[in-house]
Amino acid sequence: MNLFVKFYGRSRVINVQKAEGFAKLRGLMFRSRDAKPMLFEFSGVSGAIHSFFVFFPFLAVWLDGKNNVVLCQTIKPFRPIVPAPKNAQKLVEVPLNSENAEIIEFFVGKIRKV
């Protein structure tokens, strides 16, 4: 699925896998670094996350209802809780890997090692 996001006046289409059912609970847990970016949509829940059992860093991008970036943050493995912004309605988790280098560069600039 393609997701059109807006960030500081710039826009980009990101190819994401929509998390549904069990994948919504699992997220990137127990997956490899080569996983595809995942989209989570919240309905009446906070959108807070953790990174227990995620063995690699990833980029968390919280979006509002119009796909404007609300917060973008690099998450390290085994972090107990990462609160979501109050106006976040969606989350995209982007594994830090070479396949996602262009997406990561769009949000945070070039990174040295992926």
- Could you give the domains of the chain? 2-108 (2.60.120.1140)
The string of pLDDT tens digits covering residues 92-104 is 999 999 999 999 9
- pLDDT, one tens digit per residue, over 55-98 is 999 999 999 999 999 999 999 999 999 998 988 999 999 999 99
Q: What is the pTM of this model?
A: 0.88
Residues 2-10 have a mean pLDDT of 94
Report the C-alpha gap between 22 and 15 in whole angstroms: 20
Number of H helices, E strands in the chain: 2, 7
Burial group, residue 68, by CB count within 10 angstroms (0-12, 13-18, 19+): middle
Question: Is residue 9 left, alpha or beta, with left meaning phi > 0 and alpha meaning psi from -120 to 50?
Answer: left
Query: Model confidence at 114, in pLDDT bands (50, 70, 90)?
Result: very low
